Amino acid sequence: MATILLLAGLVWAAWATRLLLDLSKRQIVSVSLSTLVGDFVAAESRNGGTPEQTASRTAAYLAAINRSVSALGADGTTVLVTEATLGKSVPDRTELVRTEVKRALEGGHDPR
Protein backbone atom coordinates (compact mmCIF):
# COMPACT_ATOMS: atom_id res chain seq x y z
CA MET A 1 0.00 0.00 0.00
CA ALA A 2 2.80 2.39 0.87
CA THR A 3 4.44 1.68 -2.49
CA ILE A 4 1.26 2.66 -4.33
CA LEU A 5 0.98 5.88 -2.34
CA LEU A 6 4.64 6.69 -2.97
CA LEU A 7 4.24 6.03 -6.69
CA ALA A 8 1.09 8.17 -6.83
CA GLY A 9 2.89 10.97 -5.01
CA LEU A 10 5.81 10.83 -7.44
CA VAL A 11 3.50 10.92 -10.45
CA TRP A 12 1.60 13.88 -8.99
CA ALA A 13 4.87 15.71 -8.19
CA ALA A 14 6.13 15.20 -11.76
CA TRP A 15 2.83 16.46 -13.19
CA ALA A 16 2.75 19.52 -10.90
CA THR A 17 6.39 20.38 -11.68
CA ARG A 18 5.75 20.19 -15.44
CA LEU A 19 2.67 22.38 -15.10
CA LEU A 20 4.53 24.99 -13.06
CA LEU A 21 7.42 25.07 -15.54
CA ASP A 22 4.98 25.56 -18.42
CA LEU A 23 3.32 28.45 -16.58
CA SER A 24 6.67 30.14 -15.91
CA LYS A 25 7.32 30.35 -19.68
CA ARG A 26 4.17 32.37 -20.37
CA GLN A 27 4.41 36.07 -21.14
CA ILE A 28 2.26 39.12 -20.64
CA VAL A 29 2.39 41.69 -23.46
CA SER A 30 0.37 44.79 -24.30
CA VAL A 31 -1.12 46.25 -27.46
CA SER A 32 -2.26 49.87 -27.66
CA LEU A 33 -5.57 49.60 -29.45
CA SER A 34 -6.21 53.35 -29.28
CA THR A 35 -2.91 54.06 -31.06
CA LEU A 36 -3.67 51.60 -33.84
CA VAL A 37 -7.23 52.79 -34.35
CA GLY A 38 -6.28 56.47 -33.99
CA ASP A 39 -3.61 56.15 -36.66
CA PHE A 40 -6.05 54.35 -38.94
CA VAL A 41 -8.75 56.99 -38.46
CA ALA A 42 -6.24 59.77 -39.18
CA ALA A 43 -5.14 58.03 -42.38
CA GLU A 44 -8.73 57.42 -43.46
CA SER A 45 -9.65 61.06 -42.93
CA ARG A 46 -6.94 62.04 -45.43
CA ASN A 47 -7.79 59.21 -47.81
CA GLY A 48 -11.22 60.37 -48.88
CA GLY A 49 -13.55 57.95 -50.52
CA THR A 50 -17.20 57.15 -50.18
CA PRO A 51 -18.78 56.23 -46.88
CA GLU A 52 -19.22 52.68 -48.18
CA GLN A 53 -15.51 52.39 -49.02
CA THR A 54 -14.55 53.79 -45.62
CA ALA A 55 -16.90 51.37 -43.86
CA SER A 56 -15.45 48.45 -45.81
CA ARG A 57 -11.84 49.44 -45.08
CA THR A 58 -12.68 50.00 -41.41
CA ALA A 59 -14.28 46.56 -41.11
CA ALA A 60 -11.29 44.94 -42.81
CA TYR A 61 -8.84 46.83 -40.57
CA LEU A 62 -10.65 45.89 -37.35
CA ALA A 63 -10.90 42.25 -38.45
CA ALA A 64 -7.16 42.22 -39.17
CA ILE A 65 -6.44 43.68 -35.72
CA ASN A 66 -8.63 41.03 -34.13
CA ARG A 67 -6.82 38.22 -35.97
CA SER A 68 -3.38 39.60 -35.16
CA VAL A 69 -4.12 40.02 -31.45
CA SER A 70 -5.66 36.55 -31.33
CA ALA A 71 -2.53 35.12 -32.96
CA LEU A 72 -0.38 36.78 -30.29
CA GLY A 73 -2.31 34.89 -27.62
CA ALA A 74 -2.42 31.56 -29.41
CA ASP A 75 0.64 30.21 -27.58
CA GLY A 76 -0.71 31.11 -24.16
CA THR A 77 0.64 34.67 -24.09
CA THR A 78 -1.62 37.01 -22.15
CA VAL A 79 -2.36 40.06 -24.30
CA LEU A 80 -3.46 43.23 -22.52
CA VAL A 81 -5.40 45.34 -24.99
CA THR A 82 -5.56 48.35 -22.80
CA GLU A 83 -4.33 51.85 -22.40
CA ALA A 84 -3.16 51.29 -18.85
CA THR A 85 0.59 51.04 -18.87
CA LEU A 86 2.45 48.85 -16.50
CA GLY A 87 5.81 50.42 -17.12
CA LYS A 88 8.50 48.61 -19.03
CA SER A 89 7.77 45.29 -17.34
CA VAL A 90 5.21 44.38 -20.03
CA PRO A 91 6.53 44.19 -23.60
CA ASP A 92 4.54 46.32 -26.05
CA ARG A 93 3.58 44.43 -29.22
CA THR A 94 1.67 47.29 -30.87
CA GLU A 95 4.19 47.61 -33.73
CA LEU A 96 4.07 43.86 -34.37
CA VAL A 97 0.27 44.02 -34.65
CA ARG A 98 0.52 47.11 -36.89
CA THR A 99 2.95 45.28 -39.21
CA GLU A 100 0.80 42.15 -39.39
CA VAL A 101 -2.36 44.17 -40.05
CA LYS A 102 -0.60 46.13 -42.81
CA ARG A 103 0.64 42.90 -44.37
CA ALA A 104 -2.84 41.38 -44.22
CA LEU A 105 -4.47 44.41 -45.82
CA GLU A 106 -1.81 44.76 -48.54
CA GLY A 107 -2.24 41.09 -49.39
CA GLY A 108 -5.49 42.01 -51.09
CA HIS A 109 -7.59 39.49 -49.21
CA ASP A 110 -10.40 40.14 -46.82
CA PRO A 111 -8.98 39.36 -43.34
CA ARG A 112 -12.37 38.41 -41.96
Per-residue pLDDT of the chain (112 residues; tens, 9 = 90+): 888 888 888 888 888 777 776 666 677 888 888 888 888 888 888 887 888 888 898 889 888 988 888 888 888 788 887 665 555 667 778 888 889 888 988 876 544 4
CA separation for the pair 111, 104 (Å, rounded): 7
pLDDT computed for residue 81 by the predictor: 76
pLDDT computed for residue 12 by the predictor: 84
Which residues are CB-neighbours of 84 under 8 A, at least 6 positions away?
none
pLDDT computed for residue 70 by the predictor: 87
Q: Which of 50, 98, 108, 42 is nearest to 72 (CA)?
A: 98
pLDDT computed for residue 83 by the predictor: 62
pLDDT computed for residue 107 by the predictor: 78
